[in-house]
């Protein structure tokens, strides 16, 4: 339905909201803006011609069930009040030097729309600023994930050229780290029928069959961000084994850790890790889950490439929920040909002042907003709002809150004006119903009451 | 305009009306994930099985009544249910705001519901407990409680008649409600 506003008689008949970013944060916001209003029009912009953000470029290819949320988004996109503007970069031109589509500064976008929701996520990788980080063979998980998911920026990654076995180290204990480990350990049959980047698939296939993957975290199992589901998947791969040293697992069991571990999810996770640690697992491909080791340097090996990652053994110190990894001075070097740094993402959202994007004052560079409102007419949703944590579904509550804030402000500002009229599309539906209701041979049965017409206009 | 169609479809006679919602259409394509081996095997009291009636609204007299309670508003809604109804789809059919982002394939936790202690215990006693896959997703649900389950994994039978199923409060402002930066 068309809603008349104070501008109904000029060029824009309804409030128009732009959502920057078409990942879960953006699409869920669009969904609730459309669902909870009758007249708001939503345009989603994305820097890529293709939509869905991290559902397309973040979710691992062997997790198709997580991607089924796309079907919900496709349904959102069928709304007459929805439009998509792909291949449009929002921000400063200098922030997108290789972008070949239109570049729109955020402040211009804010002048064009009644409200703008930034849902650009956390696009940057947190870097490990350690000696040797520039060595060939050290890659960031942001690039590695982008590579196997065919994100154009990262489609040209090179895996090390090794002949007898691949030795790799993944630094970090989040689900992204385990995704990387699983992709490196998986047999080709596991990835065959997925939407993995074909070049990445072939490169992984060409690696020697024997693979050793260490996934190393600074703190203990209780503090690790990975979930039971992701660990479990590492135990279900064909021809691969997950290995945990029981002593190393228990070394993190400080009194504070035991207190932290009382929540149901953590108890389940620990129980599962204990089971893995108690079994003797060996296979051609082994993933070793390592704890209490802090990376201190990348060491050069043959041909000037990465040869090893040096770690310092740590102990946990501090209060419940605030324990830190404190180095013991004991070093351990893990030889490897590939190191993937998976230590988190940060945001660098576009600025309304027209200057270049930069990390803001919120957690992980997110906007330092309270709730959903960044500035007048400017809102945020998804990772750029709450930081790079949570699963796809975490965006639901978040997006609802943002949509509610936008709609509340639109109503208060008087943009949402005079009530509802009907659109041409409404007429097409009325026409359809009149034709469907026709008696034998008649072209149509005309509605003689306005109420009937309006009911028909709302049909699909 | 799925929601509008479900709201008002009854008022008009249009060919397009019977088109199932997208999540239901897609769920059949993913039936390998949606299939719940354990529970199918243990359900013995079924009179009619509507579990494969994706999309179309079951016909005939309903078998049971199930009440949904939305905690945030305190609102309750009692709806007719059929043997074999998937609890998530039952809620969606009656416009109860249960999300189901992954379309019922145990890949998210947005259809999180909380059962009463007694009802949860009854299901446990009958061996109808959550499997590992469901538990793994529940771990990531907001406001997890001892009697939490995923709606998409529950199929209605006689035991559900007269039960009250609660929808936990979903909204949570991450930053305002005390974002705790993780120390490293």
Task: Check which CATH number belongs to the domain holding B99 and give it.
Answer: 3.10.20.30
Using a 10 angstrom Cβ sphere, with 0-12 exposed, 13-18 middle and 19 or more buried, the burial of residue B179 is: middle
pLDDT of residue A254: 97
Residues of A in contact with B26 (CB under 8 A): 68, 71
pLDDT of residue B39: 34
Q: Is there a binding annotation on residue A147?
A: no
Within an 8 Å CB–CB cutoff, is residue B2 touching chain A? yes
Band (A358; pLDDT cuts 50, 70, 90): confident
- Under 8 Å CB-to-CB from B97, ≥6 apart: which residues? B70, B167
- For chain B, positions 102-141, list CB contacts with chain A under 8 A: 102-103, 105-110, 132-133, 135-140
Contact B101 A268 (CB under 8 A): no
pLDDT of residue A32: 95
Residues of A in contact with B179 (CB under 8 A): 363, 386-387
pLDDT of residue B13: 31
Query: Token pair of A13, please?
Result: 């008949």
pLDDT of residue B142: 81
Contact A71 B17 (CB under 8 A): no
In a domain, B15, yes or no: no
In a domain, B139, yes or no: yes
Contact B183 A323 (CB under 8 A): yes
pLDDT of residue A419: 58
Give A199-214 pLDDT, tens digit per residue. 999 999 999 999 999 9
Give B67-114 pLDDT, tens digit per residue. 999 988 889 999 999 999 999 999 999 989 888 878 888 888 889 999
pLDDT of residue A416: 57
- Per the DSSP assignment, residues forming a β-bridge with A300 are A306
Task: Please answer whether residues A159 and A183 qualify as being in contact, where contact means their C-beta atoms are separated by less than 8 angstroms.
Answer: no
CATH 3.50.50.60 region(s) of chain A? 124-341
pLDDT of residue B97: 85
pLDDT of residue B57: 65
> What is the residue whose two structure tokens read 């919120």?
A362
Contact A393 B101 (CB under 8 A): yes
pLDDT of residue A417: 53
Q: Is there a binding annotation on residue A218?
A: yes
Residues of B in contact with A218 (CB under 8 A): 184
In a domain, B146, yes or no: yes
pLDDT of residue B170: 64
Give B127-168 pLDDT, tens digit per residue. 888 999 899 999 888 888 989 999 999 999 999 999 999 998
Contact B175 A386 (CB under 8 A): yes
Q: Is there a binding annotation on residue A99?
A: no
Band (B44; pLDDT cuts 50, 70, 90): very low
Contact A460 B139 (CB under 8 A): no
Phi-psi region of A321 (alpha: psi -120 to 50; beta: other; left: phi over 0): left
Q: How many independent structural domains does chain B possess?
A: 1
pLDDT of residue A300: 96
Provide the CATH number for the domain formed by A124-341 in this structure: 3.50.50.60
Within an 8 Å CB–CB cutoff, is residue B34 touching chain A? no
Over 70: is that where the pLDDT of A91 sits?
yes
- Per the DSSP assignment, residues forming a β-bridge with A335 are A308
How far lies B161's CA from each of A227, A351, B168, in Å?
35, 54, 21
Contact A362 B182 (CB under 8 A): no
pLDDT of residue A418: 54
Contact B8 A455 (CB under 8 A): yes
> Higher model confidence: residue B124 or residue B51?
B124
> Higher model confidence: residue A177 or residue B32?
A177
> Higher model confidence: residue B27 or residue A17?
A17
- Under 8 Å CB-to-CB from A296, ≥6 apart: which residues? A130, A310, A311, A312, A331
pLDDT of residue B51: 42
Q: Does an H or E element contain A2, and which? A: strand A2-4
By C-alpha distance, the chain B residue nearest A38 is B4
Over 80: is that where the pLDDT of A158 sits?
yes
Give A25-61 pLDDT, tens digit per residue. 999 999 999 999 988 999 999 999 999 999 999 999 9
Q: Is there a binding annotation on residue A54?
A: yes
Over 80: is that where the pLDDT of A143 sits?
yes
CATH 3.40.50.720 region(s) of chain A? 2-123+347-457
CA distance A383 to B64: 42
Total residues found in chain B within this entry? 184
Q: Is A11 helix (H, G, I), strand (E, B) or coil?
A: coil
Contact A460 B132 (CB under 8 A): no
Q: Is there a binding annotation on residue A264?
A: no
A269-296 average pLDDT score: 95
In a domain, B143, yes or no: yes
Within an 8 Å CB–CB cutoff, is residue B26 touching chain A? yes
Query: A69 to chain B, minimum CA–CA distance in Å?
Result: 5
Contact A268 B139 (CB under 8 A): yes
pLDDT of residue B20: 38
> Higher model confidence: residue B31 or residue A185?
A185
In a domain, B54, yes or no: no
pLDDT of residue A354: 78
What's chain A's average pLDDT? 92
In a domain, B118, yes or no: yes
Task: Please answer whether residues B48 and B63 qualify as being in contact, where contact means their C-beta atoms are separated by less than 8 angstroms.
Answer: yes
Contact A386 B102 (CB under 8 A): no
Pick the CATH number of A2-123+347-457 from 3.40.640.10, 1.20.1260.10, 3.40.50.720, 2.30.30.50: 3.40.50.720
Contact B171 A397 (CB under 8 A): yes
Task: Please answer whether residues A399 and A25 qualify as being in contact, where contact means their C-beta atoms are separated by less than 8 angstroms.
Answer: yes
Q: What angle do CA A269, A273, A276 make, to 5 degrees?
A: 145
In a domain, B72, yes or no: yes
Among B101, B112, B168, B171, most A C-beta atoms within 10 A, so best to mutate, is B101
Over 60: is that where the pLDDT of B26 sits?
no
Within an 8 Å CB–CB cutoff, is residue B51 touching chain A? no
Give A310-335 pLDDT, tens digit per residue. 999 999 999 999 999 999 999 999 99
CA distance A191 to A205: 10
Residues of A in contact with B138 (CB under 8 A): 265
User: Considering only A66-70, A369-373, A397-401, B68-72, which range has the smallest mean pLDDT?
Assistant: A369-373
pLDDT of residue A270: 96
Within an 8 Å CB–CB cutoff, is residue B180 touching chain A? yes
- Under 8 Å CB-to-CB from B42, ≥6 apart: which residues? B126, B127, B128
Residues of A in contact with B146 (CB under 8 A): 264
Task: Please tell me which of the candidates B11, B103, B140 has its beta carbon nearest to residue A68.
Answer: B103
Residues of A in contact with B4 (CB under 8 A): 458-460
- How many CA atoms are closer than 13 Å to the CA of A159, on its beta-carbon side? 23
The share of chain A scoring above pLDDT 70, in percent, equals 96
Look up the ipTM and state it: 0.72
Residues of A in contact with B102 (CB under 8 A): 65-66, 68-69, 392-393
Using a 10 angstrom Cβ sphere, with 0-12 exposed, 13-18 middle and 19 or more buried, the burial of residue A355 is: middle
B15-28 average pLDDT score: 37
A105-127 average pLDDT score: 94
Query: B88 to chain A, minimum CA–CA distance in Å?
Result: 15
Contact B144 A400 (CB under 8 A): no
In a domain, B59, yes or no: no
pTM of the model: 0.79
């Amino acid at each position: 339905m068309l809603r008349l506003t104070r501008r109904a008689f000029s060029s824009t008949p309804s409030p128009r909201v732009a959502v920057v970013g078409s990942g879960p944060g953006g699409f869920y916001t669009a969904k609730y803006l459309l669902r909870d209003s009758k007249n708001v029009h939503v345009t989603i912009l994305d820097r890529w011609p293709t939509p869905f953000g991290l559902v397309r470029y973040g979710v691992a290819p062997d997790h198709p069930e997580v991607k089924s949320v796309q079907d919900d988004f496709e349904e959102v996109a069928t709304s007459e009040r929805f439009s998509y503007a792909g291949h449009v970069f929002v921000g400063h031109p200098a922030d997108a030097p290789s972008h070949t589509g239109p570049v729109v500064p955020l402040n211009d976008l804010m002048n064009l729309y009644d409200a703008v929701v930034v849902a650009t996520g956390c696009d940057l990788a947190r870097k490990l600023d350690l000696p040797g980080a520039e060595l060939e063979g050290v890659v960031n998980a942001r690039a590695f994930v982008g590579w196997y998911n065919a994100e154009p920026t990262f489609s040209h990654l090179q895996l090390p050229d090794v002949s007898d076995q691949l030795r790799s180290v993944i630094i970090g204990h989040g689900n992204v780290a385990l995704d990387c480990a699983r992709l490196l350990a998986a047999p080709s049959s596991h990835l065959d029928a997925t939407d993995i980047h074909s070049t990445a698939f072939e490169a992984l296939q060409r690696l020697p069959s024997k693979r050793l993957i260490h996934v190393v975290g600074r703190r203990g199992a209780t503090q690790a961000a990975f979930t039971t589901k992701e660990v479990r998947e590492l135990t279900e791969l064909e021809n691969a084994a997950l290995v945990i040293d029981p002593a190393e697992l228990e070394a993190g069991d400080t009194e504070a850790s035991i207190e932290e571990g009382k929540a149901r999810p953590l108890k389940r996770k620990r129980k599962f890790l204990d089971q893995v640690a108690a079994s003797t697992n060996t296979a051609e491909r082994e993933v070793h889950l390592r704890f209490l080791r802090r990376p201190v340097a990348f060491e050069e090996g043959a041909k000037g490439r990465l040869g090893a990652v040096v770690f310092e053994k740590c102990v946990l110190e501090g209060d419940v929920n605030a324990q830190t990894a404190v180095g013991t001075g004991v070093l351990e070097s893990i030889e490897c040909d590939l190191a993937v740094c998976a230590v988190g993402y940060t945001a660098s959202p576009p600025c309304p002042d027209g200057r270049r994007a930069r990390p803001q004052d919120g957690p992980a560079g997110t906007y330092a907003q309270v709730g959903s409102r960044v500035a007048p007419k400017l809102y945020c949703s998804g990772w750029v709002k709450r930081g790079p944590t949570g699963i796809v579904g975490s965006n639901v509550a978040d997006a609802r809150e943002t949509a509610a804030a936008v709609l509340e402000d639109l109503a208060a500002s008087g943009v949402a004006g005079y009530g509802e009229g009907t659109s041409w599309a409404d007429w097409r539906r009325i026409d359809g119903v009149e034709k469907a209701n026709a008696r034998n041979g008649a072209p149509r049965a005309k509605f003689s009451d306005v109420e009937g017409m309006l009911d028909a206009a709302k049909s699909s | 305009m799925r929601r509008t169609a479900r709201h008002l479809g009854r008022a008009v006679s249009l060919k397009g009306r019977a088109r199932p919602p997208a999540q239901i259409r897609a769920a059949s394509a993913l039936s390998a994930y949606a299939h719940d081996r354990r529970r199918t095997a243990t359900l013995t009291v079924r009179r009619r099985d509507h579990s494969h009636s994706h999309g179309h609204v079951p016909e005939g007299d309903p078998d049971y009544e199930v009440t949904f309670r939305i905690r945030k508003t305190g609102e309750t809604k009692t709806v007719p249910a059929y043997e074999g109804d998937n609890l998530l789809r039952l809620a969606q059919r009656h416009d109860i705001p249960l999300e189901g982002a992954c379309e019922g394939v145990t890949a998210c936790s947005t259809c999180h519901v909380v059962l009463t202690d007694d009802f949860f215990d009854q299901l446990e006693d009958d061996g109808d407990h959550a499997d590992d896959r469901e538990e793994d997703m529940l771990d990531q649900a907001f406001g997890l409680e001892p009697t939490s389950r995923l709606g998409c994994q529950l199929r209605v039978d006689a035991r559900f008649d007269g039960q009250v199923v609660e929808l936990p409060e979903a909204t949570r402002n991450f930053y305002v409600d005390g974002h705790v930066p993780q120390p490293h």
